[in-house]
Structure 1
Amino acid sequence: MKIFSRLACLLPLFCTFAVSLAQDEFATIPASSKKLTDSVTGIEVETQISEFRIARTETTQSEFSRIMGRNPSFHQGLDLPVESVSWWEAIRYCNLRSLKEGLEPCYDLATGARDPSRAGYRLPTEAEWLKAFGDSVQFTAETIGQYGNIGSSNTKSLEELKKDLAGRMPQKAGSRPANKNGLFDMLGNVWEWCDDFNGRVAGHPVPLIDPRGPDWAPERVLLGGSFISLAGNWGRSYRSSIMPEYRSRFTGFRLCLSTGRRWSAAAPEESVWAEPYNRVPAGFENKTGELSSLVQDSQGKTITTLEGWEKRRAGIKAKWEKTLGLSAETSGKPNVKEVRTFEEELYTGKLMYLQVEPEFWEKIYLMYPRCPLRNPTPVVIVPYYDVDVPAGQPLGGRTYLPPGTRSFAYLMVQQGYIACAIRWYGESYGEGYGEAVANLKLNHPGLSGLGKWVRDARCLLDYLYTLPGVDRDNIGIIGHSLGAKMSLYAAANEPRITAVVCSEPGMGLDFSNYEDYWYHDNSILARDKATDHHELLGLIASRPFLLIGGDSADNDNSWYYINSARPVYQLFGKPLNIGYFNHRSGHSPTPEAVGLAVDWLKHFLGGN
């Protein structure tokens, strides 16, 4: 006996108990999540399906004619599923029934667009339908009839097909056993229209919250098969698609309702959650190398109180502000010039120039998610050479890479956060880096390159604070390489940033090219022995900070910096707010590392 291994041959665990159709017409499917690999970035992501209610049976001819005043079905019978209806007629039924029952219609009948904020009747998305279909078991051509009103396995004889067509028809709704969700006829009887356009293929982004099909395609999705569908491999997974104008004696639909309740994971123990970020290699436990102690005062006494730390912190802050050439001046009212708006599948992007000086504007790309995490919405800033790489989108900059492990702005907007990419001044303040630094010294003689960046970051934060819908208490920053240096310095000098991820910045001043004059200059080599980036981590404490290394700019020696700062975090009672993950695969972050970085921001900005 042949066992079919395709998705076509996976079936819900059907219950043998009877479910009375006099019970609630709709079953509630709880919110859930599922891990999958995004075909755009190659990174494992977590998709979420909100709670929804779905009709226990396919819409019957009685229900359809009561609302629409007619019965288009080829096979007549009030308890039979309605068929011979187009997708357009199905959504018209949804809207009219919503109006009759005092619900807000979901569909624009001119375009077919659905407003997801409305709670009226609608068709299920493909993801919802498959979720309602339930867990699966294998079945054979000989046993499939136990579970659904499906056709035969004949693919050779036209005479047999004619007999099937003459002798088979839809059965009364609810005739077969219900699946474990209490739903009838999810397999066979009639095909069921879904809300989605057909056509999502590799290379399309995955919407992570209530995933739907592409924005447009010529056909709509059908699921479940019919009473004449083949009971075998040629069933093609009982998934099909066809033009929405199409009417067939084999196709009907079932209704769905949104409840608005999203999935929420049970929070694990903090120590369990933090384990990947605290895998200290042997020999580096609590070691700080030759770094100065952050919790020792000027008399050499150990600091044991937050009051003592604040005095120590003030001295560190003043030293670094002097090193960077920062002053207490404010940027004034933030101004932007909008260049172009991009309507993408997952977000709306606004390419703009932000005024950071009276005569200079810096490029930013602000990305608003189609499905915001919540309102107000957390923001993640992504600094880099230009905005194209963080966005995973060619925007006319000097550098571009397709979406991947450096596309942090894309990854965060995919998660439902507002994301804002911003360009490094070295790419814009002059024709090249030499000219950019020359202009910096002409315009601001005492300001270092990283000091210039901190001022730009403050202007960006001032602007973000003016935007409606922004959660000011949850603004993160994440960057790779140059972007990681920018993230480190911005967070250390700007308390409005509430969570930080730095991928391969070179934690030590001697780990990377900080002596180049677009960062500091070679005077940084003559610094006093106590001055190093562990002090910046102290300034960031107790805000969450994650370092990502790859044994390139950051290796096991970077643990000295994490270990040096952890006593400060302990003073705040938050030792797990600082962590380090070393993927040991070189300078570029791996998908695993990026996944952990995104999880870090989600954990501390709200989203898990």
Structure 2
Amino acid sequence: MEREREWWTDRLGAVPDPRGGWDVGPERPADDPAPRTWREQDIVLHSHGSDLTATLLSPGRPGAPATPGPAVVVPFYDVAAVLGRPSARTHHAPPVPGNAFAPHLAAHGLAVLAVPWWFEAVVPPDAPRDLAGRYGPPAERHRVEQPMTALGRSVGDLMLAVDALRAQPSVDPDRIGVLGHSLGGKLALHLTALDRRVAAGVAHEPGLGLAHSNWDAPWYLGDRVPRDRDLDEVLALVAPRPFLLVGGGDSDGEHNRDLVERARRSWEEAPGLDVLQHDGGHPVPAHVQAACVTWLRDRLGPGV
């Protein structure tokens, strides 16, 4: 299995920037009148010349001593969406409740690190809204300037985020999980598979299978999509750690169940690969969001 992990790591170039690092900001005062049960502060990740401002929510009253507990990395396009707040990226629409995992995780006593996608850190403010127009130009610059795939860069950034999380006093380094939807689901799958420090993972609608999503987009794999392998190998690399794959029938469902079952063979003993299917399509329904949070809390252990 380690040989396969090395192959995928090398194929993607999924390693953190060797010159990367992070800075931890001060706790911020509450921005609403209701008392909060978590602290909030930024962790700025420095990677390949970009500054990615992630936000850490830690259990406990602001200013109180930190107690180590489980933590969850939540990657997405931007941090605001994960926190359930208005987003500059989608200012034309209200926040989408299904994307706001952070408050629900924090309510269960889990620390949360919401990590933005590096593409959103490099696109200009007036970038188009469509995927090709928005991410195509920076993907082309990346192809020319960097040896790794754009997906590998993204996973490497999350590995750096795990480094930063493990250094925080509010985090038990042996109880770190990851949860992601759509783009975040793709990243959650690969981070769990390629970074053994991640204890459990959840991916909602990642598009398992190279034929079942836009993996050949230049902001993912581009022309480096493997021709003789598929993502059941990546999912299998998670074993024996627990993983929850959630499909709404859009990117994931009966059409790629064969890949799930092939990967399942790698869990030889206790059931560690769980599948949840719903008919809600690509968005995250409220009951599915709650199920994902509860599943992850149960696998990582009680929160603070």
TM-score by length of 1: 0.44
Shift of 1:340: 7.5
State whether residues 499 and 604 of structure 1, in contact with CA within 8 Å, keep that contact through their aligned partners in structure 2: yes
1:551 alignment partner AA: G
State whether residues 247 and 277 of structure 2, in contact with CA within 8 Å, keep that contact through their aligned partners in structure 1: yes
> What does 1:92-171 align with in structure 2 at a 5 Å threshold?
none
1:419 lines up with 2:112 in the alignment = yes
Higher helix share: 2
Shift of 1:566: 1.7
CA, structure 1 residues 543+484, in 2 after alignment: closer, same or farther (shift >3 Å)? same
**Counterpart of 2:275?**
580
State whether residues 383 and 423 of structure 1, in contact with CA within 8 Å, keep that contact through their aligned partners in structure 2: yes
Task: State the secondary structure of the residue aligned to 1:416.
Answer: coil
Q: Which moved more, 1:341-350 or 1:557-566?
A: 341-350
Instruction: Indicate the RMSD between aligned Cα atoms, in angstroms.
Output: 2.3
- Separation in 1, partners of 2:136, 2:26: 27
State whether residues 58 and 110 of structure 2, in contact with CA within 8 Å, keep that contact through their aligned partners in structure 1: yes
**Counterpart of 1:144?**
none
Structure 1: gaps (5+ residues) = 1-312
1:388 alignment partner AA: A
Shift of 1:392: 0.7
1:366 lines up with 2:53 in the alignment = no
Q: 2:244 aligns with which of 546, 569, 576?
A: 546
Task: State the secondary structure of the residue aligned to 2:143.
Answer: helix
- Separation in 1, partners of 2:88, 2:300: 29
State whether residues 378 and 417 of structure 1, in contact with CA within 8 Å, keep that contact through their aligned partners in structure 2: yes
Deviations 1:339-391 (A, max 9, x none): 8824253422223421123x32112011122369x932110110000001111
State whether residues 331 and 459 of structure 1, in contact with CA within 8 Å, keep that contact through their aligned partners in structure 2: no
- Separation in 1, partners of 2:25, 2:67: 24
**Counterpart of 2:10?**
322
**Counterpart of 2:128?**
none
Q: 1:507 aligns with which of 194, 208, 214?
A: 208
State whether residues 384 and 421 of structure 1, in contact with CA within 8 Å, keep that contact through their aligned partners in structure 2: yes
Shift of 1:405: 2.0
1:599 alignment partner AA: T
Identity in percent: 29
**Counterpart of 1:468?**
169
**Counterpart of 1:407?**
100
- Separation in 2, partners of 1:546, 1:591: 17
Shift of 1:475: 0.4
State whether residues 509 and 533 of structure 1, in contact with CA within 8 Å, keep that contact through their aligned partners in structure 2: yes
1:564 lines up with 2:226 in the alignment = no
1:429 alignment partner AA: V
- Separation in 1, partners of 2:286, 2:56: 24
2:301 alignment partner AA: G
State whether residues 476 and 499 of structure 1, in contact with CA within 8 Å, keep that contact through their aligned partners in structure 2: yes
Task: State the secondary structure of the residue aligned to 1:568.
Answer: coil
Shift of 1:337: 5.8
CA, structure 1 residues 516+340, in 2 after alignment: closer, same or farther (shift >3 Å)? farther
State whether residues 583 and 589 of structure 1, in contact with CA within 8 Å, keep that contact through their aligned partners in structure 2: no
Shift of 1:545: 0.6
State whether residues 428 and 436 of structure 1, in contact with CA within 8 Å, keep that contact through their aligned partners in structure 2: no
- Separation in 1, partners of 2:246, 2:291: 9
Q: 2:47 aligns with which of 336, 343, 356?
A: 356
1:553 alignment partner AA: S
- Separation in 2, partners of 1:339, 1:424: 22
2:278 alignment partner AA: H
Shift of 1:439: 3.2
> What does 1:67-82 align with in structure 2 at a 5 Å threshold?
none
CA, structure 1 residues 330+586, in 2 after alignment: closer, same or farther (shift >3 Å)? closer
Shift of 1:325: 2.5
Shift of 1:454: 1.4
Deviations 1:12-64 (A, max 9, x none): xxxxxxxxxxxxxxxxxxxxxxxxxxxxxxxxxxxxxxxxxxxxxxxxxxxxx
Shift of 1:519: 0.2
1:599 lines up with 2:274 in the alignment = no
CA, structure 1 residues 494+592, in 2 after alignment: closer, same or farther (shift >3 Å)? same
CA, structure 1 residues 589+340, in 2 after alignment: closer, same or farther (shift >3 Å)? same
Structure 2: gaps (5+ residues) = 125-133
- Separation in 1, partners of 2:171, 2:192: 18
**Counterpart of 1:377?**
69
Deviations 1:405-454 (A, max 9, x none): 2211121011111101011112113434123213323431x210110011
Higher relative contact order (Cα pairs below 8 Å, separated by 6+ residues): 2
- Separation in 1, partners of 2:51, 2:24: 9
Q: 1:429 aligns with which of 122, 135, 148?
A: 122
- Separation in 2, partners of 1:464, 1:479: 17
